[in-house]
């Protein structure tokens, strides 16, 4: 497999796991969503 398809496969696996966690454990899903939003915001602010 090349690098792009490996990265895509990993992203799909993480997305599937995240959907499972959100559906089975809503409180953990909310915390996970908040953490992802904060990390994304910090990433955007530090890139500039």
- DSSP assignment string, 1-48: --HHHHHHHHHHHHHHHHHHHHHH-HHHHHHHHHHHHHHHHHHHHHH-
Label residue 2 by pLDDT band (50, 70, 90).
low
4-48 pLDDT per residue, tens: 688 788 878 888 888 888 889 889 888 888 888 888 888 888 887
Is the full-model pTM beyond 0.95?
no
Q: How far apart are the first and last CA of the chain?
A: 34
Number of domains in the chain: 1
What range defines the domain where residue 12 resides?
3-47
Instruction: Give the C-alpha separation, 36 to 44, whole Å.
Output: 12
Instruction: Give the C-alpha separation, 46 to 48, whole Å.
Output: 5
């Amino acid at each position: 497999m090349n690098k792009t398809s490996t990265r895509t496969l990993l992203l799909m696996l993480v997305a599937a796991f995240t959907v499972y966690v959100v559906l089975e454990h809503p409180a953990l899903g909310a915390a996970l969503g908040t953490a992802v939003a904060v990390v994304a915001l910090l990433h955007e602010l530090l890139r500039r």
